[in-house]
Amino acid sequence: MTHQLFLKKPLAFFDLETTGINTAKDRIIDICIMKAMPGGDVITKNQRVNPGMPIPLESSMIHGIYDEDVKDAPPFKAVARTLAQFLEGCDLAGFNSNRFDVPLLVEEFLRANVDFDLKNRRQVDAQRIFHLMEPRNLSAAYKFYCSKELIGAHSAEVDTLATLEVLNAQVQRYVGMVGRTDSGQDVVFENDVDMLHSLTANTNVDLAGRMILNDKGEEVFNFGKHKGIPVMDVLKKEPSFYDWILKGDFPLDTKRRLTEIRLRMFSNSLNSTVKR
């Protein structure tokens, strides 16, 4: 394989398959590196890795790699130096690599006590280029799904009609296919509003997303010093935080939802006292 990129030094394209998406906790189970050389050649290296932990079924269903497939593979620590040597002198490239693959790879090297310095390496993320160069607006969606140019964009009536046509075309195109929600749940695409809602809904408690639902379905703060902490826990330990939000420059919807949670907390406390 050859390439047409103009390179002054090798550019290592790589992709990871992992046990999950938590950079701190999850581990690599498969890595492919394609090192594009300045002369045009591409050198490929594949490496399966035993993560030293069970591969969650939901992850295996995505990449098709199960515990049985990596039971005889070496741990990352055993191949870390070889991989680092293969990447020596290379810039790095991938798809969503700046946000995921590079951080996780660096974590693995650190756990293996291998010095993998990024200071003198350029990092190229093809996903970022894709998002920068290809518009993600209604006009682009209308052209992609309906094969027509949107004339009069940003007129409310034109945009509304275009959105109706786009959704109609999406249903025709994707019905029967599997989509994945933000919570990681697989949903079969159907011509059904309940399904469309479940596919596109987010975990926001308030419309601004200042509070969201965590994996346990608990309301947690999504900003500031209390990010990730259950709202009720914060209100119990730091009641003044409620007053700060109510007096602050927050949307009325956020204040309303927070008040609802606070009233529910008081109601639960009162009911608990009465039962005693």
Query: Could you give the number of structural domains in the chain?
Result: 3
Close Cβ partners of 201 (under 8 Å, ≥ 6 residues apart): 181, 182
Listed residues 108, 130, 152: the one ending a domain? 130
Q: Please classify residue 275 by burial: count the beta carbons closer than 10 Å to its beta carbon, then call 0-12 exposed, 13-18 middle and 19+ buried.
A: exposed
Taking the C-alpha atoms of residue 12 and residue 5, their distance in angstroms, rounded to an integer, is: 12
Q: What is the pLDDT of residues 163-221, one digit of tens each?
A: 999 989 999 999 998 877 766 678 888 888 887 877 777 789 998 899 999 989 999 99
| Residue span of the structural domain in which 175 resides | 138-200
Are 27 and 101 within one domain? yes
Mean pLDDT of 225-233: 96
- Cβ 187 vs Cβ 195: under 8 Å: yes
Answer whether residue 6 is part of any domain. no
Is the confidence at residue 132, as pLDDT, over 90?
Answer: no
Are 25 and 88 within one domain? yes
Secondary structure letter of residue 75 according to DSSP:
B
Are 32 and 120 within one domain? yes
Amino acid at 30: D
CA angle in degrees (0–180, nearest 5) for 142-147-153: 35
Q: Secondary structure of the chain: what % helix, strand, coil (to 5)? A: 45, 20, 40
Q: What is the pLDDT of residues 146-158, one digit of tens each?
A: 999 999 887 888 8
With cut-offs at 50, 70 and 90, classify the pLDDT of residue 246: very high
Between 275 and 120, where is the model more confident? 120
Are 167 and 196 within one domain? yes
Answer whether residue 88 is part of any domain. yes
